[in-house]
Structure formats: structure tokens, C-alpha cells
Amino acid sequence: MCYIITYILFTVSVLPLCVVLLLFPSPSSHSLASLPLCHCLSAPLEPHFTECISREQETFRCWWSPGSYHNLSSSGALRVFYLKKESPTSEWKECPEYIHSNRECFFDVNHTSIWVPYCMQLRGENVTYFNEDDCFTVENIVRPDPPVSLSWTLLNISPSGLSYDVMVNWEPPPSADVDAGWMRIEYETQYRERNTTNWEALEVQPHTQQTVYGLHIGKEYEMHIRCRMPAFTKFGEFSDSIFIEVTEIPTKESTIPLTLILVLGILCILILIMLVVLTQQHRLMMVLLPPVPAPKIKGIDSELLKKGKLDELNFILTGGGMGGLPTYAPDFYQDEPWVEFIEVDGEDGDSGEKEDNRASDTQRLLGLPHPVSHHMNMGCSNAISFPDDDSGRASCYDPDLPDQDTLMLMATLLPGQPEDEEASFDVEERAPASSERSLVQTQTGGPQTWVNTDFYAQVSNVMPSGGVVLSPGQQLRIQESTLATEEETQKGKEGEESKETEEEKQKELQFQLLVVDPEGSGYTTESNVRQISTHPQPVETKPAATMEDNQSPYIHPDSPQSQFFAPVADYTVVQELDSHHSLLLNPPPATPMPVGYITPDLLGNLSP
Amino acid sequence: MRQSARLQTILDLTAVDAAPLCTNAQAGCHVLSLANLFDRVIQHSARMHGISNDLHSEFELYFLPSKNQIGRVSRNCHTSSILTPNGKENAQRMAREELTEVILKLLVAWRDPLWHFHQSMAHHHDFNNFSSNKSLEMSDMVHELRKGVQKVVEKMQMLGIISNSVSNLASPEALLASDSAEWRLMKDYDLLYCFRRDSNKVQNYLKILKCRIVPEHGC
């Protein structure tokens, strides 16, 4: 009686707690894992089953515990009986296989049926401990084994280099017969940073691989996986953990050298360009900035050529003081190899190439016996050796006009000018004609009597017979030159040829003057000259005789013709140069002209 | 969401029949399409089992059974009369035709009970809409799954994998035979429990069949 009252009181006190607990039972009502708390708190614990688990849905095992009844803990004190409710007439049977060390009852394949309810029972001597909660069906107690062969591979690293993604692969548990389709397994991956307590659980999925995103570089991660049957609730044990760690990788190794190489390459190229520019500065300057011809007269300082210094220049040019330009005219333009002297009319006609040693303008001006290439365009003969684009020189390279004729004509125009052998040699190169050669030769060695800068003769009149009337100042020179030439002719004459040449020379001399007419026809070709020479000339027949007494092949102007000479000036204004390098002379203007050099600004004052 | 998924499944099953992937001349192609069919059916059955599980847990939670019902339930499942293999070896030893028949029988047996279950759930104001939708979905699924499995059977019979001894369970005679009134005596909870078990059976059997007949893909 007392016992009953105690029991009732106890039940009443504990009942609310039990009710609460029963409101939230375990998901599977057939589970043996969750033990009702009522039993724990109240009465002594009966022998009970702790858990029944199937690993592969083919066998299962149950463990029991004697509870508080320690006297029943010895093996054999309790016996396991099970009821397999296949038919209404099924009976309780004893455990097919005991494992007493574990207090385990193992049901093998033959004793295991799926989808069939089992009820477990513990029996002592005379006591049966049975709990209806210990009934289950095998598919509901399946806890698959953990997966095996876990491995991981690095998928990628974020651009920032701080996080990375990993792919974890594994194999299904070997005990689970997945191949036969008997079991389907879902996997749950969990990971955490090492030495932390909370696991990150990823979603359950049925594939044997899992991508884990957002792991941090430098940190070590621990990862493990467990299995479950789909649409069931019981997970198996966790697998062994694998550790994942990715240390910092120098990602820009490949790019840094590349950029470095590019930069170095560009720098080297720039340095090379600079070197080239610096070393070849002059040449580049020549190419990029071709020299602009400036007024440069050989032997004359360019300072004098500037505006306002005309008087000084004229003084020099006219030989004031020292008698003209000094022999050793300062070489003002030595540093400028490209200097080309402009062809200036009048007194300046002898400007030529500085490199032209053979035709020293200074010497020409002074009339010294130095090699001179005497012609209108002085630099031509020597300039022929190398092409020249200068405007003053281009005319020399006219293919139309045979060089031979040019040289010949030029050579004879200014008689008395000594010719260097080299110059003659030059001429010879281009004038293989013997006549010209001899012509040239005859003119060598002649004395240079005039030092006057006025070496151009002004033709005041042209005789109908072909003679040329020159200004009185020139006649003397001409005479002397002709005398010299005649002497040479006599010396060097070689029979008829020499005579003929002499005649030809006379003719040419004569006709050169003829050719120079104001109309500007310029020089004629040799053929023209010969044509002209066919005309009988009274003057020609008596070259020797006329030369003795101050006679020139030219018609000496008589008094009636002297009218023409009186107003003739000592120089001639060159109107223009035609293509044949002939000077187109004009009668001097009435206005007084400055003697000597004409500056370009003064040229404007000249009336055409 | 579930409704749309259900419709999708229906379309999938009908589409398979309407647009065969390849001509009959190519043998390899047949096998591939059979595996495809199997996969669809298995997915369907898995889904069905999942829903039944959810519904069962929800029911259990809601109605708070005071005790474990398992002892009583096993006696009341109307499908207990159908002989089903209760183990892996038994299932594997069973002939394909038999196994197929078992599957079909199970599916046929559950068509009406589930429909009535849904009806009773709909009238139950205690159940929320979610459960009501699930029960409807479940009953539709059984219907669809049965059709799908029948298609698979036809395909297998065409390919000669199984003989034509599999009876046509869609015939009215078969339906009448399976229409036993036992299920009307079952309570709702027992019904759910039984269906959960049977859907798991169907899923397992289908998977075994597939891995036995066309094991290349996903076994």
C-alpha cells in the first residue's frame, strides 16, 4: 500500500516532465537511441537496449545495457529475444549471435529482413524487460559507414590571392552496396579551421565530390564527411579528417619578369637611338636641315657680307691697301665642308668650292700662276667629280651641253688665265679632242699680267663681220693674252694641225666673243662655232700679223667707232645666266654703279 | 513549387513516349533510352518516398501518438498480402518479371487509398495547406509512377529483356482485383506509415532492377 502511494505520488510529480518530453520525441519513433528521460530520473534503470544499428541494410546489431542492475551485468545473465513480425504467428526468438564482450547481439544476413518490424526484448531469469520503443524496421536504423579515400584538389585562387576554392573527392563506403543499387547514400561535408570548435556543415548531397568555396590562404582546414540514406534521418559516423592548407603562392612571378624585360628592352632601344643621334648628329643635320646657301665669298669674312658693310667689302675686293685679297685669305668657312659659294656676277664670279684646290678663287682674283679652273662657273669642272645639287652648281651638270664644249669655250673666253695642268687634265678628261687639248695647252704658262678684278670684258658693240668691240680697258689684256697664246701656238705647233688648231682657236676666240651677244643666245655649240668660222674673216687670216702691234683678232675700234667706247664702263652687269652658262650682258646703265661687289639689295635698284 | 515539379514529371514521362530519342534500328540507342527511363522513374520514386516521409513525420508530430505504433501497424497494412522480397539477396534472386510485377502491384494498390487519404486530409481543418498539397501530390505521384513503370516494362518487353508474362496491371480486371476494402479500415496515420514503407520498397526494387538490367549509368 505504501509502495503504491509512493508510486502514485512520484508519477504525478514526474508526469508533466514526461509529457513535455513526449511532445518532442526523436524524429523516428522507432528509435532506441533516445531514451525517455523519465526512466533516467525515476526508477532504477532497467536493462535496456542502448542502440541498434545497421551499417549496410543487410545486417544489424543491438547493444544492451544492464542499467542499474549490476548484478545482471555478467554475461549470460540477460538474454536477447527478438520478434520478427512477418506473420501474425511469429514468435520470440533468441539472438542468433551474441558478442558478450560488447553486450552486443548481431543479426546476420539470414536473420535480417528489411521492411519488417523487429521488437527486442531482454530477458533475465524470470523477468522480461520489454519496451515498445524498442521496435523498429531495419531501414530506419541504417547508419551508413563513413566514406573512404578522401582527397582534395585546388580549384582556383581568387584574384586577390586571399581565398581559394577546393574540390574534395571520396569513395562511398565499401560496406554499402551502392553498385547494386541497394543503398543510395547522401553525404554531408563539414569543415572547420584547425583548433576551432565549430564545424561548418555543407548541404547534404548524393555525389561523391564536394566543392568548398571561400577558404582562406594560409589557414589550415580540417574536413570530414558522413553518410546518410536519403529521406532518412540517421547519419553514420564521421570519416577520418583530412587537412587542407594552401600557402601563399607568388602569383606574379611570371608577369614581373615579363614587364621588366619589356621595360629594359625599351630603354635599350632608346639608348641606342640616342647614341645614333649623337654620333651621327652632323649627318642627321645634313639630312634634316640641309644647309641654306648663304652669301659666302671665299676669302672674305661673312661679317663683311652683312648689311652695312659694303664699303669695307668693296675696299677689299678692289684691292685696297694690300692689293686685293691677301694670298692667304683667311679660310672663314673651313669648318663647314658643305659650304658652297654662290655664283655672284661681276667680281664675284670666281667663287668656288673650297675644296677646289685647283681653282683657287683668290689666286684667280689675284691673277697668280696657280691652278685655276677658269670659267664662268668655276666650280663646275671640279664639281663634276661629284654631283652637286646646289643651285650654283647645277648648271654645270647640264647633260645637254657637252662638257667639252663648255670647258673649251670657258677656257678661251678669258684668255690669259693660266691653266693648271690639272685643270687642263680635267678638261682633257672631258675633251678628248686634240684641238681642245692643244687649245688648252696653249694657254698655259701665260703670264698673268692683270691683277685687276675686272676680268670680264664688256662688249660694247658687235661688228657685223663678227668682231666684238670691247671696252678699252680690256683690250690690253686681251692683246697680251693673245700674244701669249700665239707664242705658245708657235712653240707648240705641230704642223698643219697646229695651224689649224691655231686658226680654229682664233676663230673660236673670235667667235666666242661673237657668241656673247646681248640678246642672250649664250654660247653656241661647237658646231655652231665651226659654222660661223666658215665665214671668211679678214681678221682671221692675219692673226700673227695683227697680234704684233697691239692687234687683237678683234676689230680694233676706229675713231668712228670709238663713240661706242667712251661711255663704256669697266664692268658689265650680268642680266642673267642662261642654261648654257653664258652670261647675258646688258649695256651698263647710265646711273653710276658702285664699283665692285653688288649687294643683293642694290640689285633691286638696277633697272632691267 | 511541388505542383510545378509534379507537372514537369508528368510531361517528362509523356514526352519520353511521344518523342523517342532514336530509331528502332540502333540497338545501342535503345539501351540508352531505357537507362534514361529508369533514371526518371527512380528519381520519381525517390521523390515520392521523400514526400511520404515528410508527411509521416509531420503527421506524427501533429497527432502526437502516445506510443510507438509499430507493433500494431504491421498487421494492418493492406499491402502485407503482396509478397515482397525483404532483403537484398532475395530481391536480387527474384526474377525480373516477378520484381516488376511486385512493383506494379504495390503502385496499383496505393492509388485509391492515397486518393481517399487526400480527401480526408482536405476536409481536416487541422492540417495546414502544406500537408494537404503534399497528400495530393503524393497521390498523383503514385499514379504517374505507375504509368512510368508500365512504360519501362513495355520497353523492356520490346527489347526482349523480360518476357511478356508480366500481366497488364492497368487492365480493369487487375484494378478490380486489387480493390480490397482493407485499406478503408486503416487509420490515416497507419496509412502514412504503410505507404512510407512501400514507397521505400518500390524505390529499392526499381534501383535493383536498373542496376541489374542497365548498370552502365549511375549504379
What's the gap in Å between the CA of A77 and the closest CA on chain B? 27
Residue B68 lies in a domain: no
Domain of residue B116 covers 34-62+79-213
Local confidence band at A269 (pLDDT 50, 70, 90 cut-offs)? very high
Residue B42 lies in a domain: yes
Residue contact B71–A85, C-beta within 8 A: yes
Residue B26 lies in a domain: no
**pLDDT for A251 beyond 70:** no
Count up the domains in chain B and report the number.
1
* pLDDT value at residue A564: 46
Query: Average pLDDT of chain A?
Result: 67
**Average pLDDT value for residue range B4-25:** 47
B216: closest chain A residue by CA: A179
On whether any CB of chain B is under 8 Å from the CB of A33, the answer is no
A510 or A205: which carries more pLDDT confidence?
A205
**CB neighbours of B12 closer than 8 A, spacing ≥ 6?**
B40
Q: Which CATH number belongs to the domain containing residue B156 in this structure?
A: 1.20.1250.10
**pLDDT for B69 beyond 60:** no
Residue B5 lies in a domain: no
Q: What is the dihedral of CA B140, B141, B147, B151, to 10 degrees?
A: 150
Residue A119 has its nearest CB partner, among B46, B71, B212, at: B71
Q: Report the predicted TM-score, pTM, of the whole model to 2 decimal places.
A: 0.52
Return the C-alpha cell found at A271: 639608348
* pLDDT value at residue A334: 61
Residue B98 lies in a domain: yes
A606 near A569, Cβ under 8 Å? no
In order of start, what are the domains of chain A with their CATH numbers? Answer: 48-141 (2.60.40.10), 148-246 (2.60.40.10)
* pLDDT value at residue A212: 93
**pLDDT for A95 beyond 70:** yes
User: Mind listing the pLDDT tens digit for each residue in A518-573?
Assistant: 444 444 444 444 444 444 444 444 444 444 444 444 444 444 444 444 455 566 66
User: Mind listing the pLDDT tens digit for each residue in A327-371?
Assistant: 555 556 566 666 555 555 554 444 444 444 445 565 665 655 544
End-to-end CA distance of chain A: 165
Residue contact A180–B219, C-beta within 8 A: yes
- CA proximity to A92, closest of A47, A122, A67, A65: A122
* pLDDT value at residue A260: 92
**H or E element, residue A120:** strand A117-123
End-to-end CA distance of chain B: 29
Residue contact B71–A180, C-beta within 8 A: no
Q: Which of A114, A136, A137, A142 is the mutation pick for testing B, counting most B CBs within 10 A?
A: A114
- Count of beta carbons in the 10 Å neighbourhood of residue A294: 13
User: Mind listing the pLDDT tens digit for each residue in A490-522?
Assistant: 444 444 444 455 555 555 444 444 444 444 444
On whether any CB of chain B is under 8 Å from the CB of A19, the answer is no
Distance between CA atoms of B135 and B146, rounded to whole angstroms? Answer: 17
What's the gap in Å between the CA of B150 and the closest CA on chain A? 20
DSSP label at residue A566: T
Residue contact A57–B92, C-beta within 8 A: no
Residue B160 lies in a domain: yes
Residue A30 has its nearest CB partner, among B68, B88, B200, at: B68
**Average pLDDT value for residue range A427-438:** 44
User: Mind listing the pLDDT tens digit for each residue in B20-31?
Assistant: 455 555 555 655
Local confidence band at B73 (pLDDT 50, 70, 90 cut-offs)? low
- CA proximity to A115, closest of B97, B77, B54: B77
| Amino acid sitting at position B52 | S
* pLDDT value at residue A203: 94
What's the gap in Å between the CA of A249 and the closest CA on chain B? 38
Residue B141 lies in a domain: yes
Residue B3 lies in a domain: no
From chain B, pick out residues whose CB is under 8 angstroms from the CB of A184.
46, 207
- CA proximity to A456, closest of A437, A434, A471, A446: A471
